[in-house]
Structure 1
Amino acid sequence: MLDANLKAQLQAYLEKVTQPFEIVASLDNGTKSTELKNLLEEIASMSDKITLRTDGDDARKPSFSLNRINGEISLRFAGIPMGHEFTSLVLALLQVGGHPSKLSQEVIEQIAQLEGSYSFETYFSLSCQNCPDVVQALNLMAVLNPNIRHVAIDGALFQDEVEERQVMSVPMIFLNGEMFGQGRMDVEEILAKVDTGSAERDAAKMNEKDAFDVLVIGGGPAGAAASIYSARKGIRTGIAAQRFGGQVLDTMSIENFISVTETEGPKLVRAMEEHVREYDIDVMNLQTASRLVPATEQGGLHTVEFESGASLKAKTVILSTGARWREMNVPGEQEYRTRGVAYCPHCDGPLYKGKDVAVIGGGNSGVEAAIDLAGLVKHVTLLEFADTLRADEVLQKKLKSLPNVTVIKSAMTTEVVGDGSKVTGLIYQDRNTEESHTVNLDGIFVQIGLLPNTEWLKDSVALSKHGEIEIDARCATNIPGVFAAGDVTTVPYKQIVIAMGEGSKASLSAFDHIIRS
C-alpha cells in the first residue's frame, strides 16, 4: 500500500521506537480488511520491536489496536488511517513505541493526573484536515494515562454507526457514549473540558503576570507574525488566542503563499506555532477576549479582560482576532448545526456520499465547494442570492459541466427544515416572484463569507459600518498604543500573506510607539 518514498520515511521514523509493542488486528473477509492487513504487515516488517497479530476480536472490522507489551494503553483505529490520518498513525506508532511527545511537562502531568474512566470515540473522514488534530490529541492522552481509551473511527467505513449516532459533521467526539464535542480540538482544549478546574487555575496565573510591552490578541497569521516581530526586538511579548491558527485551520488547500507551492491550513498553522515558540513569547491559548480598557493617560497601560476572568496589561496592544464563517441567520440553522448544516465541505463532504446536498453562496468558495461535493454526493443544489454567480469564470465553466449540479439564482434561503434530529431540506424565496419553494436535502453547506470578530470592541475602538477595525497605514487604531492587523481590519483583500505582512507592520508600529512614548 505504501510507495517507496513513504516506506523510506516510515522506516526512518520507526528507528526511533525504543519499546516493543504489538499491533492486534480485527479482520473479516472484506477487501478493506485485506488492505489493512497488507498495510500492517508492511509496518511490522520495518521494525523488530513491532509484532503483528491478526486474531483480534473487536466488533469493528477492520480495526487494530496498538498494545505496549505488559503495558496499559488502549488506543485503536477502526478503518485504514491513510490520507490525512497517516500522520496520526505514524505518531501513534512512535508514542506507543516510547518516543516522547513535544508537549510541555506541565500538560503531560495534567493528563497523567486525570482520575476516573474516559472512553473516547472520534469519527473522522480521510479528507478532513481538522480531524488529525483531534485523533492525535486523544491518542496521546491514551498513551499517557491508562484511564483514557480512544478509538478513531473512519465514518465512511462504518456508515451504520454514523447513521445511528447521527454523525453529520466531523470530527465528532463521544465520551463514555455521550456527545462530547465537534470540530477541531487540541490537547489543551480537550483537557479544559475534562479538567473543569483548569480554566480557573489558568486565569489565576494570567492575573499574576507582569505587564507586557506588546500584547497580541489573536493567533492567526497576523497575530503570529506580530508576536514574532515583537519578540525579535527583545521586548516582553505575549499572545493570547481563542484558538491558535484561526480560520487557517479550516482552509484545505493553500496555493498562493509565496515560496510554498502548495500546503494545507493545519500544516501551515503547525509551522507558525513552532516558529512562535522558538522565541521568548508567552503563548496563552484558549483565551477569549471580552473587553479592551484603554489606558487613561498617554504612556499608561492598556488592559484586556477575558471571559475566563483573567486580565492582562500592556504598553501596546495588537488586535488580530480575525473573522469567522458568516451564518445565514435563518430559523433552523443553529438547531441543525452539525446535524446537516455544515461549513466545511472538505471535512464533512464524505459523510454525504450518495445523498442530496445544497451549497449556499455563489462566490469562489461556494462554487469550489459545489464542484468538490459533486464528485461525492448524488446531487448538489447551489443557491445564490444575487442574479448572477460571483465566482471566477473558470470555476463557473467547470460548474456548468457537471451533470449533477443545479444552480438557482435570486434565491433567498428563509428556513432550514428538519425532522427534529437531522436536516431534511430548506425553504427559499424566489426574489423575482416572491414565491417560496422547498428543496428536499440531506445536508446544507454554508459558504457566504466571513464576519470580523469585533463584538467585544464596540465600546472601545472605532469600527467601520461592516464591523471591521478602522486602521491607518501604520495599523494604528483611534486609540494611541492600540494597533490592529489582518482580516479583522479595514484592509482589503483577506489573504494569509497580507495578514502576515500587516501583523509585522503592526508590531513595528507598536515598537516605534514604545520608544517614542
Structure 2
Amino acid sequence: MLDSGLKTQLKAYLDMLTQPITLVASLDDSEKSQELRSMLADIAELSDKVSFDDAGSDARTPSFDIVRNGTDVRVTFAGIPGGHEFNSLVLALLQVGGHPSKTAQDVIAQIQDLDGEFLFETYFSLSCQNCPDVVQALNLMSVINPRIKHVAIDGAVFPQEVEARQVMAVPTVFLNGQPFAQGRMSLEQILAMVDTNASARAAEKLKDKAAFDVLVVGGGPAGAAASVYAARKGINTGVVAERFGGQVLDTMAIENFISVPYTEGPKLAAALEQHAKEYDVDIINVQKAEKLIPATTPGGLIEVQLASGASLKAKTVILSTGARWRSMNVPGETEYRNKGVAYCPHCDGPLFKGKRVAVIGGGNSGVEAAIDLAGLVAHVTLIEFDNKLRADAVLQAKLRSMPNVTILTSALTTEVHGDGSKVNGLSYKDRTTDQIHRLELEGIFVQIGLVPNTEWLKDTIALSPRGEIEVNARGETSVPGVFAAGDATTVPYKQIVIAMGEGAKAALSAFDYLIRQVPVDATAAA
C-alpha cells in the first residue's frame, strides 16, 4: 500500500524507535480491512522494532492498536489514518516507540498528574486540516499517562456511529461516552478543560511575574509581529493569548502572503510562534483577557486582568485581539467551514475558479466580494436578507452590469448542504412568499461583517460604533501607553500582511513611548 518513497521516509523515522512496538489489528473480510492489513504489514517490514499481529478483538473493524511491548501504553486508530492523519500515525509510532516528545516538561508533568480514568474518542475526517492537532494531542496524552485512553475514529468508515452519535462536524471528541468538545484545540486547551485545578495553578504561577515593558494581548499575526519587533529592541516582552496564532489557525490555504506563494494557516501560526520564541518572548497561552485597567499615574503600570483570576502588569500594552467572522448560524455552516464555506474572498476566491458560488450579504463588503468573485468564478448568486442592497450605488451599478451575477433580495439563508467533504448547495427562504428554494453550488462566501474581540474593553477605551478599537496613524488608542493593531482596530482591510505591518508599527510606537517617559523616581524627586 505504501509507495517506495513513503517507505524510505517512514523507515528513517522508525530508526528513531528506542522500544519495540506491536501493531495489533482487528480486521474482517472487508476491502478496508485488507487495505489496513497491507499498510500495517508494510510498516512492520521497515523496522525490526515493529511487529504485526492481526489477532485483535476490537469491536470496530478495521482498527488497530500501536502497543509498547510489555506495557499498557497504546494508541488506537479506527479506520485507516491517511490524508492529513498520516502525520498523526507517524507521531504515534514514534511516541509509543519511546521517542521523546518536544512538548514542554511542565505540560508533560501536568498530563502525568491527571487523576481519574479518561477514555477519549475523536471522530475525524481524512480531509480535515483541524483534526490532526486534536488527534495528536490526545494520542500524546495517552502515551504519557496510562489512565488516559484515546481512539481516533475515521467517521467515513463508521457512518452508523456518526449518525447514532449525531456527529455533524469534525473533529468531535467524546469523553467517557459523553460529548466533550468540537473543533480545533491545542494540547494546552484540552488540558485546561480536563484539569479542574489548571486555572488556579496557572493564576498562581502568573502572580509573581515581573512587569513587562511591553505586553501584547492576542497572538495572531499582529500580536506576533508586535512581539518580535518589541523584543528586538531588547526590552522585556510578553504575549498573552487564548491561542497563539488566532484566526489564522482556522485558515486552510493562504496564497496572498507576499513572497510565499502558498502556505496553510497552522503552518504560518507555528512559524510565527517559533519566531517569537527565538527572541525569548514570554508566551502565556490559553489565557483570556477580561479587563484592562489603565495606569493611575503618568508612567505607571497598566494592568490586564485574566479570566483565570491572574493579572499581568506592563509599562505599555498592545491590544491585538483580532476579530471573528460573523456567522450565519444555520445548519451545515460549521461542518463545511473551510470546505466550501469561506469568509475571505481575497484569500479564497481563486480556489473557486470556474465554479458556482454564493455571497451572503448585500452591504459594501458583500457586493465588493461578488464583484471580485465574478471575475473568477462561473456564476455568483448574491443573497441579501433586506428587500434591497445596502451597498453604495456605484458598487451596485457595477454588480448589476456583470452578466454572471444573480441578485436575490428578501432572502434568508436557512441551511448549507454538502456531500460530507465539501459544500454542494444551500437553501434559502423567499421572505415575500415563505417558499424554500435550493441552489446547487460549490462555495459560499459569508460577508455579513466581522465581530471584533473587544467586548471586554467597553467603558475602558474608545471604540467605534462597530466595536473596533479607535487608533491613530501610530497605533495609539485613547489610553496613554495602550496601543492596538490588527483586525480589532479601525484600520481598514482585514488582511494578514496588513495586520503584521500594523503590529510592527504598534511595537515601534510603544518603544518610542517608553524611551520618552520620565522615570517615576525622577518625577517623585522633583
| Alignment TM-score, normalising by the size of structure 1 | 0.85
The answer for the alignment partner of 1:57 in structure 2 is 57
Q: How does 1:253-332 map to 2 (within 5 A)?
A: 253-328=253-328
The answer for the alignment partner of 1:487 in structure 2 is 487
Secondary structure (helix, strand or coil) at the match of 2:90 reads helix
Q: How does 1:325-404 map to 2 (within 5 A)?
A: 325-328=325-328, 333=329, 340-342=332-334, 344-346=336-338, 382=358, 384-386=360-362, 389-397=370-378
Secondary structure (helix, strand or coil) at the match of 1:392 reads helix
Secondary structure (helix, strand or coil) at the match of 2:48 reads coil
The answer for the alignment partner of 1:422 in structure 2 is none
Change (3 A) 1:491 1:344: farther
The answer for the alignment partner of 1:461 in structure 2 is 461
- Kindly state the Cα deviation for residue 361 of structure 1 after the two structures are TM-superposed: 8.0
The answer for the alignment partner of 1:437 in structure 2 is 435
Is 1:13 the counterpart of 2:22? The answer is no
Change (3 A) 1:416 1:164: same
Total equivalences in the alignment: 481
- Kindly state the Cα deviation for residue 20 of structure 1 after the two structures are TM-superposed: 0.7
The answer for the alignment partner of 1:506 in structure 2 is 506
The answer for the alignment partner of 1:98 in structure 2 is 98
Secondary structure (helix, strand or coil) at the match of 2:180 reads strand
- Kindly state the Cα deviation for residue 229 of structure 1 after the two structures are TM-superposed: 1.8
Cα distance in 2 between the residues matched to 1:161 and 1:381: 32
Deviation string, structure 1 residues 359-389 (Cα, Å, up to 9, x no partner): 69895689789889x9xxxxx9946343963
The answer for the alignment partner of 1:377 in structure 2 is none
Secondary structure (helix, strand or coil) at the match of 2:192 reads helix
* Structure 2 contact 95–101 (Cα < 8 Å) conserved: yes
* Structure 1 contact 364–395 (Cα < 8 Å) conserved: no
Q: How does 1:42-441 map to 2 (within 5 A)?
A: 42-328=42-328, 333=329, 340-342=332-334, 344-346=336-338, 382=358, 384-386=360-362, 389-397=370-378, 409-413=408-412, 428-430=429-431, 434-439=432-437
Cα distance in 2 between the residues matched to 1:147 and 1:414: 46
Change (3 A) 1:361 1:287: closer
Letter in 2 for 1:428: K
Cα distance in 2 between the residues matched to 1:27 and 1:407: 52
- Kindly state the Cα deviation for residue 146 of structure 1 after the two structures are TM-superposed: 0.5
- Kindly state the Cα deviation for residue 416 of structure 1 after the two structures are TM-superposed: 6.9
Secondary structure (helix, strand or coil) at the match of 2:135 reads helix
- Kindly state the Cα deviation for residue 390 of structure 1 after the two structures are TM-superposed: 4.4
Cα distance in 2 between the residues matched to 1:277 and 1:360: 31
Change (3 A) 1:228 1:364: closer
* Structure 1 contact 341–445 (Cα < 8 Å) conserved: no
- Kindly state the Cα deviation for residue 245 of structure 1 after the two structures are TM-superposed: 1.0
* Structure 2 contact 359–380 (Cα < 8 Å) conserved: no
The answer for the alignment partner of 2:475 in structure 1 is 475
- Kindly state the Cα deviation for residue 23 of structure 1 after the two structures are TM-superposed: 0.7
Change (3 A) 1:168 1:364: farther
Cα distance in 2 between the residues matched to 1:126 and 1:51: 25
Deviates more, 1:487-496 or 1:98-107: 487-496
Q: Gaps spanning 5+ residues in structure 1: where?
A: 350-358, 375-379, 401-405, 418-424
Cα distance in 1 between the residues matched to 2:411 and 2:310: 42
Change (3 A) 1:360 1:506: closer
Pairwise CA RMSD:
3.1
* Structure 1 contact 62–78 (Cα < 8 Å) conserved: yes
Secondary structure (helix, strand or coil) at the match of 1:210 reads coil
Deviates more, 1:61-70 or 1:496-505: 496-505
* Structure 1 contact 385–411 (Cα < 8 Å) conserved: no
Deviation string, structure 1 residues 76-110 (Cα, Å, up to 9, x no partner): 11112121111111111110111111111111111
Deviation string, structure 1 residues 115-135 (Cα, Å, up to 9, x no partner): 211000001111111111100
Change (3 A) 1:214 1:361: closer
Cα distance in 2 between the residues matched to 1:268 and 1:15: 29
- Kindly state the Cα deviation for residue 482 of structure 1 after the two structures are TM-superposed: 0.9
* Structure 1 contact 121–152 (Cα < 8 Å) conserved: yes
Secondary structure (helix, strand or coil) at the match of 2:100 reads coil
Deviation string, structure 1 residues 184-243 (Cα, Å, up to 9, x no partner): 111111111111111011112222211110000001111111112222222111111011
Change (3 A) 1:163 1:365: farther
Deviation string, structure 1 residues 7-49 (Cα, Å, up to 9, x no partner): 3332222221111101111222222222222222222222111
Cα distance in 2 between the residues matched to 1:360 and 1:411: 22
- Kindly state the Cα deviation for residue 486 of structure 1 after the two structures are TM-superposed: 1.1
* Structure 1 contact 324–452 (Cα < 8 Å) conserved: yes
Cα distance in 2 between the residues matched to 1:451 and 1:46: 51
Cα distance in 2 between the residues matched to 1:100 and 1:231: 30
Change (3 A) 1:126 1:238: same
Cα distance in 2 between the residues matched to 1:163 and 1:450: 33
- Kindly state the Cα deviation for residue 262 of structure 1 after the two structures are TM-superposed: 1.4
Cα distance in 1 between the residues matched to 2:495 and 2:39: 39
* Structure 1 contact 2–39 (Cα < 8 Å) conserved: yes
Secondary structure (helix, strand or coil) at the match of 1:277 reads helix
Secondary structure (helix, strand or coil) at the match of 1:137 reads helix
Identity of aligned residues (%): 58
Deviates more, 1:390-399 or 1:294-303: 390-399
Letter in 2 for 1:468: E
Letter in 1 for 2:436: T
Secondary structure (helix, strand or coil) at the match of 1:239 reads strand
Cα distance in 2 between the residues matched to 1:321 and 1:177: 35
Cα distance in 2 between the residues matched to 1:256 and 1:383: 21
Change (3 A) 1:2 1:500: farther
Deviates more, 1:266-275 or 1:314-323: 266-275
Secondary structure (helix, strand or coil) at the match of 2:151 reads strand
- Kindly state the Cα deviation for residue 344 of structure 1 after the two structures are TM-superposed: 4.6
Change (3 A) 1:35 1:368: farther
Letter in 1 for 2:337: P
- Kindly state the Cα deviation for residue 446 of structure 1 after the two structures are TM-superposed: 7.7
Q: Gaps spanning 5+ residues in structure 2: where?
A: 382-404, 417-425, 518-526
